[in-house]
Structure 1
Amino acid sequence: MIFTLSLLSCKGEDEGTSLDSSAKDWEETKSKEGNNYSYQVVSQSWTGYGTSTTLKVVDGQVSEREYTAYQIEEGGDRVILSEYSESMDSLGSHDEGAGIYTIDELYDQCEGEYLSVDAAKNTIYFSTFKNGLLQTCGYVPSNCMDDCFVGFKISLIAFEE
């Protein structure tokens, strides 16, 4: 049975939470719920192209990755362009999709790679879900016009009982 944290849906963001505070919230949640969870990373272009990657973590290690690329057509229909599913034996066998990381590793990436860029040359984005857990971390270089976000956007986190 999967217990999904209802506060982690796209009901809203909290931009007032710091990375340190969010990391502490993550550690507290993980110690309460366990180190078995799945999360979804999404991307969306203004052109209608989008991707979704779901990663499953068991005992603190990524064990599965599923990916879908799609195009939103005029009228709102979603056309699947490509998809795959990787298990422990085949993890990393595809180039497309979000990287094979635990959320702990995403917190490290957020701090070391995305929030540390020069704020004078980039617009930096960091947000959390209403319960304080990491949702968005990345940046857009100044004067970039379209689809320039570098980082990640998590759409949901679910813990397994």
Structure 2
Amino acid sequence: MILIPNRLKEQFVRMKTAKNSILIKITLVLTLSFSIGTPTQAQPEVLPSPSVEMWGEKKDQLNQSYKRWLKLKEQCKGNYSYDIKWSSWTGFGNTTTIVVRGNQIIERRFESYGAPHPDGRPIDENRWTERGEFIGSNPKGHPPRTIDDLYREAISLTGKPVPQFYRGVIRFNKEGLLLSCYIQDTRIADDAPIKGVNITSISLGSESLPKEKQAKPTFEQWVTNGKKIPDGMMFIGGSPWFNETTGKKREPVEVYEMIYGKNVKPAPFKPIRPPFNPNKRKTFPKHWGEPPKRQTRDLRPLPGGYGMGSGTLARWIQENLDRDKNRSTQPD
């Protein structure tokens, strides 16, 4: 049952009196339509689900690249290295270098750098090198893996479809070797993490072998070559150029002395005369008699292998040697 307001009833009575039934019906219809009308609810929009991406021909390119790698690896006899660089949009980053010789990892180098300082101080750096049984002991840096391991990871990754909201990336260098094969979440704008392989560069041959330890440079040579910090050298605080105790920048000579030690000039050479000890000298022949008791205070080598002694003793020995020689040459 529909309730009609009193105001409408009064209008209805007036209209009935005026015998205008048609107008009454129209008024009632319009009133009822506005009073009982219900709004319609909007249906939510259904978004189409993103399609699943497949690797397609990229997978075939990866297989061809792996065959190419096997040939080049044989040519360089398993001697190579590769770099993995990463940097953030805020300015910091790191580089890991894996060195392989004879298909075995022999070295892992790591270098990180911080964002530039507003006050102009040198960028903070951290470097270290692992060799032998210590390779892989530091949790930082890219894990020590050969390129064969990276190819196996890439082949396994391309054997599965790319998940929703992700993109698949594959890149090769000029030689056709694998540089990147990973998936990345497209919903993350900055520094989105990746899953897979991402190499920066590959070096084949003897260039990848570690350099021999170089001789200590002079301060002038070190400055001329750009004041470089040796690989693998670490400093508390990150950078040797800033003194955290004083809050001031170190001078180049201070940094050089921290790396190579102070250049202390050696003291001038002073010959040390052995002390005269007649008890340790070989004995004189008995027929020479006793050596002179009064001798000069100088010290010189004595003839005949009798050690060191004064000039007086040297003349006495030489006279006896000459006398013995003359006796041996005289006829019997």
TM bin, normalised by shorter chain, reads: 0.7 to 0.9
Which runs of 5 or more residues in structure 2 are unaligned? 1-57, 207-332
Match of 1:158 among 203, 211, 233: 203
Distance 1:74 1:23, change over 3 A: farther
Could you tell me how far apart the structure 2 residues matched to 1:116 and 1:74 are?
Answer: 44
Deviation per CA, 1:71-123: give whole Å up to 9, x if none.
Answer: 34279x97243221100121111001011100000011122247735343311
SS in structure 2 of the partner of residue 23 of structure 1: helix
Quote how far apart the aligned CAs of 1:31 are: 1.5
Q: What letter matches 2:137 in structure 1?
A: S
Indicate if the aligned counterparts of 1:55 and 1:66 stay in contact, CA closer than 8 A: yes
Could you tell me how far apart the structure 2 residues matched to 1:85 and 1:122 are?
Answer: 35
Indicate if the aligned counterparts of 1:25 and 1:133 stay in contact, CA closer than 8 A: yes
Deviation per CA, 1:31-59: give whole Å up to 9, x if none.
Answer: 22220111111112111121100011111
* Residue 85 (str. 1) matches residue 129 (str. 2): yes
The aligned residue for residue 64 of structure 1 is: 107
The aligned residue for residue 97 of structure 2 is: 54
SS in structure 2 of the partner of residue 62 of structure 1: strand
Could you tell me how far apart the structure 2 residues matched to 1:55 and 1:65 are?
Answer: 5
Could you tell me how far apart the structure 2 residues matched to 1:156 and 1:71 are?
Answer: 22
Q: What letter matches 2:87 in structure 1?
A: Q
SS in structure 1 of the partner of residue 71 of structure 2: helix
Q: What letter matches 2:201 in structure 1?
A: L
The aligned residue for residue 61 of structure 2 is: 18
* Residue 129 (str. 1) matches residue 176 (str. 2): no
Q: Give the TM-score of the pair, scaled to structure 1.
A: 0.79
Could you tell me how far apart the structure 2 residues matched to 1:152 and 1:20 are?
Answer: 15
Structure number with higher relative contact order (C-alpha < 8 Å, ≥ 6 residues apart): 1
Indicate if the aligned counterparts of 1:72 and 1:78 stay in contact, CA closer than 8 A: no
The aligned residue for residue 116 of structure 1 is: 160
Deviation per CA, 1:19-39: give whole Å up to 9, x if none.
Answer: 101111111111222201111
SS in structure 1 of the partner of residue 114 of structure 2: strand
Could you tell me how far apart the structure 2 residues matched to 1:115 and 1:47 are?
Answer: 35
Could you tell me how far apart the structure 2 residues matched to 1:22 and 1:107 are?
Answer: 9
Q: What letter matches 1:30 in structure 2?
A: K
* Residue 96 (str. 1) matches residue 140 (str. 2): yes
Q: What letter matches 1:55 in structure 2?
A: I
Could you tell me how far apart the structure 2 residues matched to 1:16 and 1:130 are?
Answer: 18
Q: How many residues align?
A: 147
Deviation per CA, 1:98-154: give whole Å up to 9, x if none.
Answer: 111000000111222477353433111110002100111212113112211313432
Distance 1:78 1:38, change over 3 A: farther
RMSD: 2.7
The aligned residue for residue 6 of structure 1 is: none
Percent of paired sites with the same residue: 27
In proportion to residue count, which structure has more helix?
2
Distance 1:53 1:71, change over 3 A: same
Indicate if the aligned counterparts of 2:100 and 2:107 stay in contact, CA closer than 8 A: yes
Q: What letter matches 2:86 in structure 1?
A: S
The aligned residue for residue 43 of structure 1 is: 86
